[in-house]
Amino acid sequence: MIRVLVADDHHLVREGIVALLERAPGIEVVGQAADGEAAVAAAMELRPDVLVMDVTMPRLNGLRATEQLREAHCPAAVVLLTIHHDEAIVRRALAAGAMAFVPKQEVTEELLLAIRAAAHGATYLSPGVSSAVRGLEAALPAGAETGVTEREREVLRLVADGLTSREVAHRLSLSVRTVERHRTNLMAKLGATNVVELLREAVRKDLLELDER
């Protein structure tokens, strides 16, 4: 059973999301929050598997709330919802540590897919969002500055070797959640939505040699 916390400042929207999730098999709604600060507090107390959270909320927006949860090592995987899905917001969301990003107009089966992916440690971007990210990265020249850290390069090399997140975590003496965060950041920085795209972009930007794939 995937335990989910829902945070949105609009009561009717929040209730609609809760109703959708309560009808879905294998998902249990364990709490609700109406602003970012309440979402952080509830996530730390309830320790849900997944936090579904609006980006635009009072007191603390969803991006900053996500950053605070990551800094506090909260294990909840964050799925962000928004009416906006331009490149800058998507990139910032993933860099903040979000595992999934879904436009509000796609809060139906897309949200269920995102929740299940995030609960299993996978990054999920709805089709419209992934197209926006790919479009941004395609506009960058080969070899452009990516901001990839040395630790992220280490994770990247091991992913290229075919290791799972758990195996990478064991090799680098990190938690699985930390490895997943590095993978999420790599996906955002390289504009990838799956491992194949990640490795292709890493080679194109000279972060991996062909014989490392």
Residue pair 59/36 in contact by the 8 Å Cβ criterion: yes
Nearest to 101 by CA among 48, 138, 55, 60: 55
In this predicted structure, what is the pLDDT of residue 145?
45
pLDDT of residue 42: 98
Distance CA 68, CA 42 (A): 13
Q: Return the structure tokens found at 204.
A: 């194109």
How confident is the model at residue 132, as a pLDDT?
Answer: 55
Looking at residue 153, its amino acid is R
pLDDT in tens, 136-164: 444 433 333 456 778 888 899 898 888 88
Total residues found in the chain within this entry:
213
Quote the CA–CA distance of 106 and 83 in Å, as a whole number: 10
pTM value is 0.64
Q: What pLDDT does 159 receive?
A: 87
CA 108 to centroid of chain Cα atoms: 18
The confidence score (pLDDT) of residue 134 equals 53
Structure tokens at 102: 């879904």
Closest by Cα among 135, 136, 127, 84 to 109:
127
Q: What confidence score (pLDDT) does residue 11 get?
A: 93
H or E element that contains 52: strand 50-54
Task: Give whole-number Cα distances, 194 to 129, 130, 168, 187, 210, in Å.
Answer: 13, 10, 17, 8, 18
CA distances from 101 to 26, 69, 90, 169 (A): 21, 16, 7, 24
Question: What are the pLDDT digits (tens) for 82-122?
Answer: 887 667 777 778 778 888 888 887 677 789 988 988 888 77
- pLDDT at position 167: 92
User: Which helix (DSSP H) or strand (DSSP E) does residue 30 occupy?
Assistant: strand 27-33
Domains of the chain: 2-136 (3.40.50.2300), 142-206 (1.10.10.10)
Q: Give me the mean pLDDT over the 185-201 stretch.
A: 80
CA distance linking residue 35 with residue 55, whole number of Å: 10
Side-chain-side CA neighbours of residue 153 (13 Å)? 11
